[in-house]
């Protein structure tokens, strides 16, 4: 996979946005691989995702050694989050050296970034510029149910996710063998109602120590505090085992069985401070019948949970999701 850059934009809609962004990329010599736009006509908002090649501009096989690209990624990884986020209240500045590293590639990402920042300011854009050469760092949280955890680790192992997974956090020890098998550090952080604050402090410490960009709650059965959530805006992904907004809260399969629904669902979403209310990323359903008891729903639901959570993680890592208000744009 050759390195690419992804630019995500949201801003007030106005004429000429596509023209100005595309022209700047063209002038800088970008070889666009994918471009997609969306307008929310009601709210007057414009969304755009552009992905272009960082290497291989001009001639194919231009002698750019893979080792060097990977070196850039390793370097960037030490620098902290590789995404430069501007204009958003939650923006985390990319440190200086990271903007230099892409210069080793054929496309001068740093120079583009400087020019684009001016354009973005003029057009009141919120934007994120990311290089795939720097792999995001993901932490997986779980409790005692491990089907999503096992699925995510296996997909990661197979190369479905472009990320590093250096850390698993769990309030149970059930995940020990899986963590060891996939070579991921496991930090056991017990949580009780009395020790919640303390546990979260420890978790945040771990996330910082491991340089984590994204937290995935793989059936983690504890509720995160608003403070915790605010530290990782649009960067904590959860799976809820119902078709939201139906069956919010605990034991949704029991509730679905009691209501006599004919389809069950699962939902992946960004976590916000309101339980099961964050922006929905993906949903899927499966048909059930009167023959299915609660335990059948639980078993059928596991497949749905695996699917919707793994899609959300992949799309997030591929920078295909733009959050706005309580919704998401998922570019395909």
Closest separation between CB of residue 99 and a copy of itself, Å? 24
Does 276 qualify as catalytic in the annotation?
yes
- Candidate list 265, 271, 272, 305; residue touching a copy of itself; CB under 8 A: 265
**What gap in Å lies between CA 152 and CA 34, rounded to an integer?**
26
Q: Judged by CB under 8 A, does residue 122 bind a copy of itself?
A: no
Q: Which one, 204 or 294, has the nearer CB to a copy of itself?
A: 294
Per annotation, catalytic residue among 10, 164, 213, 276 = 276
**Positive or negative torsion for Cα 140, 146, 148, 153:** positive
Q: Which of 226, 294, 283 is nearest to 256 (CA)?
A: 294
Burial of 303 (0-12, 13-18, 19+ CB in 10 A): middle
Closest separation between CB of residue 22 and a copy of itself, Å? 4
Residues 37-56 that bind a copy of itself (CB under 8 A): 37-42
**What gap in Å lies between CA 125 and CA 9, rounded to an integer?**
6
Q: Which one, 105 or 207, has the nearer CB to a copy of itself?
A: 105
Q: What's the residue count for the chain?
A: 332
DSSP states of 314-326 = HHHHTT-EEEETT
Q: Report the SS3 class of residue 198.
A: helix
Q: Judged by CB under 8 A, does residue 213 bind a copy of itself?
A: no
Which range binds a copy of itself by CB under 8 A, 89-97, 102-110, 215-223, 288-296? Answer: 288-296
Site pattern 5..34 for a copy of itself (x: CB under 8 A): ----------xx-xxx-xx-xx--xxxxxx
State the helix-helix crossing angle for 252-259 and 294-317, rounded to 10 degrees: 130
Q: Which one, 172 or 231, has the nearer CB to a copy of itself?
A: 172
Closest separation between CB of residue 248 and a copy of itself, Å? 10
Q: Judged by CB under 8 A, does residue 60 bind a copy of itself?
A: no
Closest separation between CB of residue 18 and a copy of itself, Å? 4
Pairing of strands 327-330, 321-324: antiparallel
Q: Judged by CB under 8 A, does residue 186 bind a copy of itself?
A: no
- Candidate list 60, 61, 158, 194; residue touching a copy of itself; CB under 8 A: 158
Please give the helix or strand (H or E) that residue 15 lies within, else none: none
**What gap in Å lies between CA 234 and CA 316, rounded to an integer?**
10
CB 153 within 8 A of CB 144: no
Closest separation between CB of residue 100 and a copy of itself, Å? 25
- Candidate list 2, 187, 273, 303; residue touching a copy of itself; CB under 8 A: 303
Site pattern 78..107 for a copy of itself (x: CB under 8 A): ------------------------------
Beta-sheet strands, E only, within 59-151: 84-86, 126-131, 137-142
**What gap in Å lies between CA 263 and CA 205, rounded to an integer?**
41
CB 281 within 8 A of CB 328: yes
Which range binds a copy of itself by CB under 8 A, 66-74, 116-124, 149-157, 201-209? Answer: 149-157
Q: Judged by CB under 8 A, does residue 261 bind a copy of itself?
A: yes
**How does 34-43 read in b/e, with b if 16+ C-beta sit within 10 Å?**
ebeeeeeeee
Q: Judged by CB under 8 A, does residue 297 bind a copy of itself?
A: no
Q: Judged by CB under 8 A, does residue 62 bind a copy of itself?
A: no
Active site residues: 276
Residues that bind a copy of itself (CB under 8 A): 15-16, 18-20, 22-23, 25-26, 29-42, 146-147, 150-151, 154, 158, 160, 177, 181, 243-247, 259-263, 265, 279-285, 287, 289-291, 293, 299, 303, 307, 326-330, 332
């Amino acid at each position: 996979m050759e390195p690419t850059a992804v630019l995500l934009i949201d801003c007030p809609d106005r004429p000429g946005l596509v023209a100005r962004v595309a022209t700047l990329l063209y002038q800088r010599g970008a070889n666009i691989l994918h471009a997609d736009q969306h307008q929310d006509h009601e709210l007057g908002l414009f969304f755009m995702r552009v992905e272009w090649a960082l290497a291989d501009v001009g001639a194919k096989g231009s002698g750019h050694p893979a080792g060097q690209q990977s070196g850039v990624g390793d370097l960037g990884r030490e620098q902290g989050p590789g995404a430069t986020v501007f204009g958003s209240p939650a923006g985390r500045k990319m440190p200086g050296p990271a903007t230099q590293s892409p210069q080793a590639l054929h496309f001068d990402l740093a120079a583009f970034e400087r020019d684009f920042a001016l354009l973005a300011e003029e057009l009141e854009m919120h934007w994120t510029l990311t290089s795939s050469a720097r792999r995001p760092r993901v932490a997986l949280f779980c409790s005692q149910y491990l089907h999503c955890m096992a699925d995510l680790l296996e997909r990661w192992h197979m190369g479905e996710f472009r990320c590093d997974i250096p850390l698993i956090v769990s309030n149970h020890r059930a995940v020990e063998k899986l963590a060891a098998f996939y070579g991921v550090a496991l930090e056991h952080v017990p949580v009780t109602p009395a020790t919640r604050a303390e546990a979260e402090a420890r978790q945040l410490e771990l996330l910082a120590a491991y340089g984590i960009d994204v937290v995935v709650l793989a059936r983690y059965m504890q509720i995160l505090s608003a403070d915790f959530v605010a530290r990782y805006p649009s960067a904590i992904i959860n799976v809820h085992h119902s078709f939201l907004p139906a069956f919010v809260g605990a034991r949704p399969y029991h509730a679905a069985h009691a209501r006599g629904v004919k389809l069950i669902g699962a939902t992946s979403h960004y976590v916000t401070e309101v339980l099961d209310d964050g922006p929905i990323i993906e949903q899927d359903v499966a048909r059930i019948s009167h023959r299915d008891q609660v335990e059948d729903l639980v078993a059928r639901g596991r497949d749905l949970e695996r699917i919707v959570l793994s899609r959300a993680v992949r799309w997030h890592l591929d920078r295909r999701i733009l959050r706005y208000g309580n919704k998401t744009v998922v570019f395909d």
